[in-house]
Amino acid sequence: MASYPALALILLSSASLCLRCEAGKVLVYPVDGSHWLTMKILVEALHSRGHQITVFRSNTSWYVSETSPYYTSITVPQNEAQNIESQDAMTAFLKKCIDIHRTNSIWATLELYGNVFDLIRENQKVVAKFAASILGNKTLVKELKAEGYDVFLTDPVFPGGVVLAHYLQLPLVLNVRWIFNGDGHFAIAPSPLSYIPQLFSKYSDKMDLFQRINNLFYHAALVYMHHYVSAPPFQAVCDEYIKEGVNIMSLVQNADLWLMKVDFTFEFPRPTMPNVVYIGGFQGKPAKPLPSDLEEFVQSSGEHGVVIMTMGTLLNDLGPEVSEIIATAFASLPQKFVWRHKGKRPASLGNNTMLVNWMPQNDLLGHPKTKLFITHGGTNGIYEAIYHGVPVLGIPLIFDQFDNLVRLKVKGVGEIIEITTMEVESLTSDLKNILDPGKKYKENMVKLSQLHHDKPMKPVDTAVFWMEFVMRHKGAAHLRTESYKMPWYSYHNVDAIAVLLAILMAVLTLVWVFCRWVIQFLWSKKDSSKSKSE
């Protein structure tokens, strides 16, 4: 009898062995920049499971290296590099945005939108050319078809890969949070604007009437962006290479699986779909020991602990004015500060602050002495902070950063300070506030972190499981709704309601006609009986 559990175990494990996938061939079409840095983690995980991976890259790429132990690359020659996340283009762009922000008016907001749209428009043109160069190379396309890939992995924020996947007829997996017109959920799942704040709105999921009205406007701006800014270059590629004539959005909606870079410890709860798998924070990993000089500095902080500050890879110099404000505020506090700063050394820098060109961010966040993380609000950093349970002070600059930080503020694990109105006093008091254990920021963040870790499987393993699922079953069409193939009036049942209304009207009309007839009949009878009796 005692051997039954053992037998069951053997049966179970052999069943799970059968489920294991034969090593597959994965074709990866990444988006350059920080998006690739996270997707690379997925590529490495797939490689460790024995899959063969091929990655497209442009010869102008900064991040996707040509040689790697994890993948083979296909380099496509391009004359231009994408501008989003190119150091020079972005630094200039951010400076402009900050200047516009200072003049806080409705025109400034419109100008800001205009600038963001220009940046995206230029970028999409360049990125769409990349897809066109691949599709236009007959030899390459033939080689790709002959190779017999099992699955196509791409990031649809620039949807060139989606067109190529359709062309090659491969099962499509998206590694996604944003698509080219905002949050990826909006493309496939019901997204009521009454409680889902739209990108750039800076709202939470609790909106008053005024905010809900504004939320509609923020939505309209993204609809505009979709039709006039970000979709046309890719639609042109579709029109050129896909004969049957398809809409670029429908190709995205047709994806087999959405590996969504979202975790509900961070995102507001919302409706979702069966082919959406949540892997937010899949880049999270335990901290490694710090380099000895940094460890010594961190240890020297004593009971006060350390605060670390970085504004991401894009902007390492906030300009002399802002840098002086930050340095002065830091110098006035008992904590030690590690600050990633590349500009001129501020005159007011205290001896409690260490300037660095680069920092092992994850290892610092995982260090027990780290008390607070000052960040621009990119999701990579935010998920690392949640992973390690470190509260956040956000200084948002562009794109989704403000919206990301709103999610932390609402959960009581962070605060937001605007760069345009930042003063020594406001920064100091915000820092003191978050560092104060009585204010519960740390406590709340530790709770959030526990929720984030409490999962049956690590997010990266979940991602690999579902990639292999798609490979085993050559897609996951049974999880995909057909809703996107419906015209809008059918989707919202306008036609069905119209038919029902028509029937109702007809019935009411009949009843009315009948009643009139009956009444007339009765009257006439009464009249005739009256006349008879007379």
Ligand X SMILES: *[C@@H]1O[C@H](CO)[C@@H](O)[C@H](O)[C@H]1NC(C)=O
Q: Give bridge partners of residue 28 from the DSSP assignment.
A: 55, 153
CA–CA separation, 503 and 520 (whole Å): 26
Q: To the nearest whole angstrom, how small is the minimum distance from the Cβ of residue 167 to ligand X?
A: 15
Instruction: Specify the residue, 61 or 253, whose C-beta has the smaller distance to ligand X.
Output: 61
Among 351, 357, 531, 533, binds ligand X (CB under 6 A): 351
The smaller minimum CB distance to ligand X, of residues 115 and 137, is found at 137
Closest distance between ligand X and the C-beta of residue 142, in Å?
9
And the tokens for 250? 């429908």
Taking CB under 6 A as the criterion, the residue among 105, 139, 169, 357 binding ligand X is 139
Residue 334 within binding range of ligand X, rule CB under 6 A:
no
Please pick, from the candidates 89, 140, 189, 410, the single residue that binds ligand X as defined by CB under 6 A. 140
Q: How far apart are CA 392 and CA 386, in angstroms?
A: 9
Candidate segments 25-33, 138-146, 164-172, 289-297, binder of ligand X by CB under 6 A: 138-146
Q: Are 364 and 308 in contact (CB under 8 A)?
A: yes
CA distances from 477 to 137, 173, 437, 468, 491 (A): 30, 12, 50, 15, 19
Long-range contacts of 88-91 (CB under 8 A, 24+ apart): 89/119, 90/314, 90/315, 91/314, 91/315, 91/317
Whether the CB-CB separation of 339 and 330 falls below 8 Å is answered with yes
H or E element at residue 524: helix 494-533
> In the complex, what is the shortest distance from the CB of residue 432 to ligand X, in angstroms, rounded to a whole number?
18
Q: Which DSSP category does 93 fall into? A: H
Of 132 and 287, CB closest to ligand X: 132
Question: 72 or 104, CB closer to ligand X?
Answer: 72
Task: Give residues 407-426 in contact with ligand X (rule: CB under 6 A).
Answer: none
Q: What minimum distance in Å lies between the beta carbon of 60 and ligand X?
A: 5
Q: Which residue, 23, 478, 98, is CA-closest to 314?
A: 98
Looking at the Cβ atoms of 143 and 240, the one nearer to ligand X is 143
The span from the CA of 390 to the CA of 323, in Å, is 23
Distance CA 178, CA 275 (A): 16
Strands 257-260 and 276-278: parallel
* Structure tokens belonging to residue 129: 């050319």
The distance of closest approach from Cβ of residue 129 to ligand X in the complex, given in angstroms and rounded to an integer, is: 11
Q: How far is the CB of 252 from ligand X (least distance, A)?
A: 26
Shortest distance, position 81 Cβ to ligand X, whole Å: 8
| Part in contact with ligand X (CB under 6 A); list of ranges 133-141, 182-190, 355-363, 451-459 | 133-141
- Tokens at residue 242, please? 């896909």
Residue closer to ligand X by CB (options 77, 114) is 77
Binding mask 69-108 for ligand X (x = CB under 6 A): --------xxx-----------------------------
Q: Using the minimum distance from each CB to ligand X, give the nearer residue, 77 or 368.
A: 77
User: Which of 137-145, 197-205, 379-387, 499-507 is the region at the interface with ligand X (rule: CB under 6 A)?
Assistant: 137-145
Q: How far is the CB of 332 from ligand X (least distance, A)?
A: 11
Question: Looking at residue 75, what DSSP letter applies?
Answer: E
What is 41-52 written as a DSSP string? Answer: HHHHHHHHTT-E
Residues 5-24 that bind ligand X (CB under 6 A): none
> Which part of the chain contacts ligand X (CB under 6 A), choosing from 135-143, 248-256, 449-457, 467-475?
135-143
Residue number with CB closer to ligand X (77 or 271): 77
- How many residues of this chain interact with ligand X, rule: CB under 6 A? 10
- Cβ-based nearer residue to ligand X, 45 or 307: 307
- Distance between CA atoms of 417 and 388, rounded to whole angstroms? 22
> Which CB atom, from 115 or from 332, has the smaller least distance to ligand X?
332
Please give the single-letter amino acid code of residue 468: E
Contact pattern for ligand X over residues 141 through 160, marking x by CB under 6 A? --x-----------------
CB 246 within 8 A of CB 228: no
Using the minimum distance from each CB to ligand X, give the nearer residue, 73 or 115.
73
Measured distance CA(76)–CA(128) in Å, rounded: 13
Shortest approach of ligand X to residue 350 CB, angstroms? 7
Closest CA to 149 of 173, 113, 132, 175: 173
Residue 528 interacts with ligand X (CB under 6 A): yes or no:
no
Q: Is 59 in the site for ligand X (CB under 6 A)?
A: yes
**Is 406 within 8 Å of 203 (Cβ atoms)?**
yes
Query: Is 31 within 8 Å of 4 (Cβ atoms)?
Result: no
Q: Which of 60, 91, 109, 332 binds ligand X (CB under 6 A)?
A: 60
Interface stretch with ligand X, choices 33-41, 104-112, 132-140, 421-429 (CB under 6 A): 132-140
Alpha helices in 189-319 (DSSP H): 209-225, 232-241, 248-253, 292-299
Q: Which is nearer to ligand X, 48 or 59 (CB)?
A: 59
What residues contact 79, with CB distance under 8 A and at least 6 apart? Answer: 60
Report the interface residues with ligand X, using CB under 6 A.
59-60, 77-79, 137, 139-140, 143, 351
